[in-house]
Amino acid sequence: MRLPLAREGIPFVLVCVLVAAAALLWARSGGWGLQSAVPALSLALALFVAYFFRDPERTSPADPGVVVAPADGKVVGVGPVEEPIGGSAERAATRISIFLSIFDVHVQRAPLAGRVTEYSYRPGRYLAAWHPEAGRINEQASLESETDAGPIEVRQIAGLVARRIVTYPRGGDRVEKGERIGLIRFGSRVELLVPRDWRVTIRPGDRVRGGATPVALARGGTARGERS
């Protein structure tokens, strides 16, 4: 049975547990006050870190034309952009921006099945992830993929506190819809670029779940709805 915790979080959880155990031994010398409070605070921190790195199983809609959210969080923007996707000459796309708070699952998933055509990383600044300019100037990693319906791109963008972006696939790798493709630590933003003629089915303010919530219909897609 798979551990419902992202592997990148295991060292953090272990360190927190060791700190809590050490604090508990230190507190055994007795008394109320700081010595009794530190173990409780250390344990609370360990539980929060485990919660942050949780990695639940998700089931994606079976219809191959249904595009699912690449991340958990709140949709903060949906709109056209004049830039190519996946090396395409056509400079017309729709961008869906998702903000992840520290309380959201931070594992990213593939929106559609396809082949990764390019992985790229770009250093940058660390504006708050909800800032409109964060997607343009913050540190980020991008995965461009070619699917049966057309090209898509997922961008993992660091935020004010996030200083570590992990991306699993590389160019040439095959990914399935809903498959785990990476993780960003401690508050971040994820953007999905799809062709302009795909129909977007969500709007700003909606909350989505990575790998499960439909966000667009590719050419030929007809199904809607979410499976948990």
Which residues are marked as active site? 188
User: Which helix (DSSP H) or strand (DSSP E) does residue 14 occupy?
Assistant: helix 10-27
Tokens of 125: 């600044």
Q: Which residues pair with 64 in a beta bridge?
A: none
CA–CA distance, 9 with 128 (Å, rounded to integer): 22
Residue 217, CB half-sphere, CA atoms under 13 Å: how many? 10
Amino acid at 12: F
The DSSP line for 64-106 is: TTEEEPSSSEEEEEEEEE-S-STT-S---EEEEEEEE-TTS--
Residues 111/154, Cβ–Cβ less than 8 Å? yes
- The DSSP code for 54 is B
